[in-house]
Amino acid sequence: MKPTVPERGIVIAVDGSVAKVMITGSEACKGCGQAKIGLCRSSGLNMIVLAKNLPGAKSGDVVVVGIDEGIRLRGYLLAFIVPLISLLAGTSIGLIASLYLSIKGLEVLSGFLGLAIGSYLSLKRLRRLDREESLIIKSILNTT
C-alpha cells in the first residue's frame, strides 16, 4: 500500500530514474485509517517503496515522498465522480423507461444498478492505477 500523505524517507538505492526509499512510520501513520485496519504498517516499522527520482536524489539523502497531484486527482475522480455520474445516468434512464413502460419504481432499481456498475468499474480502474503509477520524490531535504 502506498502512503497517501507526503512522508519523509531515506534513499537506500538508486537505479536509473527510480529510487528505493525506506520510510519509517510517523505519528501520522498511527492515526491513519489504513494503519488501524492493518492495510499498512503503523509507527515504528520501516516500509521500503520505489519512487520516481525526478530531483536526482542520491543514496543516503533524506527526501519527501508523495503521490503526484495529477494521479491523486484521477483517483478522486474515479472514486467519487464516476459512481455519482453512473447513479444519475442510471436513474435518468430508468425514469425515461418507466414513463414509457408504465412501471413504477424502475428508476430506483436502474439507479442502483448504474451505481453498482459504475462503482465496480471505478474500483477496477483504481486498482490498476495503484499498480501502474508509482510514488515520486517531491524534494530533497538533506543530502549526504
For the segment 63-90, the average pLDDT, to the nearest whole number, is 89
Q: Mean pLDDT in the chain?
A: 82
In sequence order, which residues have a C-beta less than 8 Å from that of residue 133 and are 6 or more positions away? 67, 68, 71
pLDDT tier for residue 88 given thresholds of 50, 70 and 90: very high
Q: What is the pLDDT of residue 102?
A: 87
| Structure confidence at residue 1 (pLDDT) | 43
The answer to whether residue 2 sits within a structural domain is: no
| Confidence at 49, pLDDT banded by 50, 70, 90 | confident
Quick check: is 1 in a domain? no
Residue pLDDT, tens place only, 117-131 = 999 999 999 888 877
Whether 57 and 76 share a structural domain: no
Q: Is residue 87 domain-resident?
A: yes
**pLDDT value at 40 more than 80:** no
Residue type, 2: K
Q: Write the CB contacts of 32 (distance below 8 Å, at least 6 apart in sequence).
A: 4, 5, 40, 42
CB 48 within 8 A of CB 25: no
Indicate if 77 and 87 belong to the same structural domain.
yes
pLDDT tens per residue across span 7-23: 888 889 888 888 888 88
Same domain assignment for residues 89 and 60: no
Parent domain of 138:
7-67+134-142
Residues 11 and 47 in one domain: yes
What one-character DSSP code corresponds to residue 103? -
Contact partners, residue 58, CB within 8 Å, separation at least 6 = 11, 14, 143, 144
Residue 76, domain member (yes or no) = yes
